[in-house]
A and B are shown apart, each in its own frame.
Chain A
């Protein structure tokens, strides 16, 4: 018997076994019921029950239901059959043939995959006909993810089949595995209802990977890279699982696993469950920027100096600045050269106060069924506007956590990102009055009625958030009024946040509130009061305690300009970043109505008061950090920071102070190694034509934006800004 003859025979035996298994499967009415009929009955009845959901939810509903079906099928169908066969001695018979026994398992798995594929196709077809979802349907991606997920479930099922001694135990063991995995995956209850430690465990759940990827497929414009990563990690998990199953498979009903084999299998299964997580980390590692980049900067402002430096080379390696030297040093072989000899290079800008889940049009984002997508779009706008670090200051925690995860893994490119998670406020306090717009209020706000509630509320955020934000404001009389947090609760919150090593900033409305918050030890004050002058003592307290002020003048001007859409559209970066639809909505009467809720005169007075307070704070040497409050009406992501910088300058800050507020000081406040052009910081740079130390409005003459050593946006060769269509505004150009 020659080797090739042997190989050919093995292949022939594999094909024959697969064909026979497939035929037997289709011949068995019970198998056909559980793999073809039941999933369809389940899926159709399930989707019909939920058909009242808005039509744009239907596609996601279909994906979720089919995911449940595929998981259940993979975990139970074939494993039950194999264990039954082993009990009856069917599998033993193969042991006395010259074939490697694994071949039979592979053939069975292949046949089952064909059945599963048919089932998947039928389920999707029937559901698409019955439910008829509106919006784009990404069928190939859906098949990819659901198929890979089912494969992983099958591999897990085969491990059960490999070790479980009797068919009666398959449902018991399978359900013990299946139910927690199901709950943790988010297929049945949304993951955000789970406590954070359970969600962390859920990270080690291949089915969770599948369901999250399926949810992503359900979005109008799915994030390809993440879906592909999910598919790859599912396939790798499935292959490892299958190998493990073959390795420990018992063929003989009469031999039991030894305790040592049990322990090894258990350890391997635990390792297997971590596969997607490990793989993600490995791929994220490979996605880290590695190359060497030299930037020849005609002029450089390093984020702190009073002066510009001329003719320097900024050396970048693996996304970090390694050196800044005088003169134009030629790049070594293999390195990339960025020629900015005619430009001024400075650190990427930062916005310390944004709300990414809304877009600047009456909390429009809160209505979206795809908050992640909205956030991704907003992050692209920041890069487009030269903003390379942002702090989410009040967004649905589950959404921003997952976005931060994507950013860290390198699959999503955007600014450096820190977040505060839910806002701590009084029951019915700001922003709980907008609860109707929040898909899940608990993710946005934590309403505290007693000091005793602080530890639990805080504990739910620890380990997840980068900082804490509390609201200590009672509104802006006579226009808004809401409940203010009890002072002792705020004090306790500040004490416990500090004990946990987190910075806490406090939203204030009135001067007295600012004073109180500063005295209680707030690390930062969000919003400068607009109703009156802040007492000098408050500024003194802030200076003594090194607290920062994030004035958010931009949001006050945004509110003022809501009645004058054209003025907003003429601001730098607004037309470049807003979609045509958003620009239209801005011009509609409703926007004017929203804007005119407060009389024009009052709005102007408020802005003037805010500017005066900022001037006073600056004169009192309070550290000011740039933050726009973008996401509020009339205040658009990215563009709003440039408005904020202009307003700070108009308030009386010299340009260099304004720039520090948006670079080095902002990075310090956010706790990021950024905002300075010096060795060790992230290679987040922008280049502008002109000297912004003379006028910060020159930042509008942006030429390119670099994040972690990679050019994310650059002005095209004709010297005009590229105006890419919506959704691609921050795509890096090819030039790199």
Chain B
């Protein structure tokens, strides 16, 4: 099976600024793939090159087997796109917009079914300017599907939406995946990537710094779970710190109270040992456990890069298509 997207050595400059620096990555068919990175990492430039809106300065892009640099119009006919920072004429209705864009494509889906799918049936004839932010984004998603595309590219689909609207949109994106479409999305909401994506790639300053399944990335980076607990009892100060845990906070607000914050790589071991070592007569007043997230992995990765810019720049070729991370990471 061919890959949905194959990028190799993609480079794009804006004057003296190198926005994308020799990027290579592959998105398989049917996969939901996330491009992550802080603002200015080169995510939008990358997707715009894939969409055929921008011409790369170097490298090759194949989309659904088509050379996207040479035949952008063919690519555009087969993909669905939701652009960042886009809008529609203020007075157009969702129905008109869907019918209008449908006329641009050889294959298209009927407006009514897309309106129903996006939950816009009631707003079908309301002018665009009177739609809520979530409704506008759902319309944008519906427009991306108007040509029944095999590949859908979503650039920051949930930016600026409230939690409820974001959840609605997540459900719609999950449906794409369930229908067997390939989805490429960019986001700077890490939990969104974690929730939706089969694989993510992390971009930083135009380079790929990591790529893989979210859980793998977390593990490889060595991100840690945190445990916070407050113990009450006469001899709480005797509570020992389990092995393999790093103490972050230790405080004794009152004589009979002890508050601890620990970081650990193994949650089960840390919890078991803490419970076993509880001094007699003491009681756990509160216990909060938070699993390590992609966000921590992400921050760790980008921090490491920032801390050691020289290292990153001398090893000029960024890791390609594998779950590698810079060598100097991993020691907490």
Q: Which of A85, A98, A252 has most B Cβ within 10 Å? A: A98
In the complex, what residues of A have CB within 8 A of residue B89's CB? Answer: 24, 85, 90
Judge whether A23 and B96 touch: CB under 8 Å: yes
Residue of A nearest to B80 (CB): A96
A89 contact from B51, B53, B87, Cβ within 8 A: B87
Interface presence of B311 (CB below 8 A): no
In the complex, what residues of B have CB within 8 A of residue A168's CB? Answer: none
Judge whether A98 and B73 touch: CB under 8 Å: yes
In the complex, what residues of A have CB within 8 A of residue B96's CB? Answer: 20, 23
Interface presence of B81 (CB below 8 A): yes
In the complex, what residues of B have CB within 8 A of residue A99's CB? Answer: 104
Interface presence of B121 (CB below 8 A): no
Known: A23-B96, A24-B89, A98-B76. A93 touches B83 (CB 8 A): yes
In the complex, what residues of A have CB within 8 A of residue B103's CB? Answer: 9, 12-13, 16-17
Judge whether A93 and B92 touch: CB under 8 Å: no
Interface presence of A88 (CB below 8 A): yes
Q: Tell me, rounded to whole Å, the shortest Cβ–Cβ distance linking A669 to chain B.
A: 68
Judge whether A95 and B53 touch: CB under 8 Å: yes
Within the assembled complex, what's the spacing in Å between the Cα atoms of A403 and B52?
A: 57
A13 contact from B53, B81, B104, Cβ within 8 A: B104
Known: A1-B77, A20-B92, A85-B89. A97 touches B105 (CB 8 A): yes
Judge whether A16 and B100 touch: CB under 8 Å: yes
In the complex, what residues of A have CB within 8 A of residue B87's CB? Answer: 88-90, 93
Judge whether A96 and B91 touch: CB under 8 Å: no
Judge whether B77 and A98 touch: CB under 8 Å: yes
In the complex, what residues of A have CB within 8 A of residue B304's CB? Answer: none
Judge whether A93 and B106 touch: CB under 8 Å: no
A92 contact from B83, B99, B105, Cβ within 8 A: B83
Interface presence of B85 (CB below 8 A): yes
Within the assembled complex, what's the spacing in Å between the Cα atoms of A92 and B86?
A: 7
Within the assembled complex, what's the spacing in Å between the Cα atoms of A97 and B143?
A: 10
Interface presence of A5 (CB below 8 A): yes
Q: Tell me, rounded to whole Å, the shortest Cβ–Cβ distance linking A35 to chain B.
A: 15
Interface presence of A27 (CB below 8 A): yes
Q: How many residues of A contact B (CB 8 A)?
A: 24
User: Which residues 51-92 in B have Cβ within 8 Å of A in the complex?
Assistant: 51-53, 73-74, 76-77, 81, 83, 85-89, 91-92
Within the assembled complex, what's the spacing in Å between the Cα atoms of A614 and B83?
A: 91
Judge whether B104 and A97 touch: CB under 8 Å: yes
Judge whether B100 and A89 touch: CB under 8 Å: no
* Contact code string A395-427 (vs B, CB < 8 Å = 1, else 0): 000000000000000000000000000000000
Interface presence of B101 (CB below 8 A): yes
Q: Which of A13, A27, A89, A93 has most B Cβ within 10 Å? A: A93
* Contact code string A709-722 (vs B, CB < 8 Å = 1, else 0): 00000000000000
Judge whether B104 and A24 touch: CB under 8 Å: no
In the complex, what residues of A have CB within 8 A of residue B85's CB? Answer: 89, 92
Interface presence of A584 (CB below 8 A): no
Within the assembled complex, what's the spacing in Å between the Cα atoms of A357 and B53?
A: 64
Within the assembled complex, what's the spacing in Å between the Cα atoms of A20 and B127?
A: 13
Judge whether B83 and A89 touch: CB under 8 Å: yes
Q: Which of A16, A17, A97 has most B Cβ within 10 Å? A: A97
Within the assembled complex, what's the spacing in Å between the Cα atoms of A93 and B77?
A: 14
Query: Interface extent on B, as a size class?
Result: 20 to 34
In the complex, what residues of B have CB within 8 A of residue A90's CB? Answer: 86-89
Q: Which of A23, A85, A95 has most B Cβ within 10 Å? A: A95
Judge whether B104 and A93 touch: CB under 8 Å: no
In the complex, what residues of A have CB within 8 A of residue B81's CB? Answer: 96
Q: Tell me, rounded to whole Å, the shortest Cβ–Cβ distance linking B146 to chain A.
A: 9
Judge whether B88 and A93 touch: CB under 8 Å: yes
Residue of B nearest to A1 (CB): B106
Q: Tell me, rounded to whole Å, the shortest Cβ–Cβ distance linking B130 to chain A.
A: 13
Interface presence of A694 (CB below 8 A): no
Interface presence of A28 (CB below 8 A): yes
Judge whether A24 and B53 touch: CB under 8 Å: no
Within the assembled complex, what's the spacing in Å between the Cα atoms of A89 and B87?
A: 5
Q: Tell me, rounded to whole Å, the shortest Cβ–Cβ distance linking A546 to chain B.
A: 72
Q: Tell me, rounded to whole Å, the shortest Cβ–Cβ distance linking B310 to chain A.
A: 32
Judge whether B86 and A89 touch: CB under 8 Å: yes
Q: Tell me, rounded to whole Å, the shortest Cβ–Cβ distance linking A620 to chain B.
A: 84
Residue of A nearest to B78 (CB): A98
Within the assembled complex, what's the spacing in Å between the Cα atoms of A95 and B76?
A: 9
In the complex, what residues of A have CB within 8 A of residue B83's CB? Answer: 89, 92-93, 96
Within the assembled complex, what's the spacing in Å between the Cα atoms of A406 and B100?
A: 49
Residue of A nearest to B153 (CB): A96
Q: Tell me, rounded to whole Å, the shortest Cβ–Cβ distance linking B299 to chain A.
A: 28
In the complex, what residues of B have CB within 8 A of residue A27's CB? Answer: 91, 127
Within the assembled complex, what's the spacing in Å between the Cα atoms of A28 and B81?
A: 28
Residue of B nearest to A16 (CB): B103
Known: A1-B77, A20-B100, A23-B96. A96 touches B105 (CB 8 A): no
User: Which residues 1-38 in A have Cβ within 8 Å of B in the complex?
Assistant: 1, 5, 9, 12-13, 16-17, 20, 23-24, 27-28
User: Which residues 259-298 in B have Cβ within 8 Å of A in the complex?
Assistant: none
Residue of A nearest to B88 (CB): A90
User: Which residues 97-129 in B have Cβ within 8 Å of A in the complex?
Assistant: 99-101, 103-106, 127
Within the assembled complex, what's the spacing in Å between the Cα atoms of A252 and B83?
A: 12
A-B contact pairs, 28 of them (CB 8 A): A1-B106, A9-B105, A9-B106, A16-B100, A17-B100, A20-B96, A20-B99, A23-B96, A24-B91, A24-B92, A27-B91, A28-B91, A88-B87, A89-B83, A90-B86, A90-B89, A92-B53, A93-B83, A93-B87, A93-B88, A96-B52, A96-B81, A97-B101, A98-B73, A98-B76, A98-B77, A98-B104, A98-B105
Knowing that A16-B103, A96-B52, A96-B83 touch, tell me 15 more A-B residue pairs with CB under 8 angstroms: A1-B106, A5-B106, A9-B105, A9-B106, A89-B85, A90-B87, A90-B88, A92-B83, A92-B85, A93-B83, A93-B86, A93-B87, A95-B53, A96-B53, A96-B81
The 10 closest A-B pairs by CB, nearest first: A16-B103, A98-B77, A96-B81, A98-B76, A89-B86, A88-B87, A97-B104, A13-B103, A93-B86, A89-B87
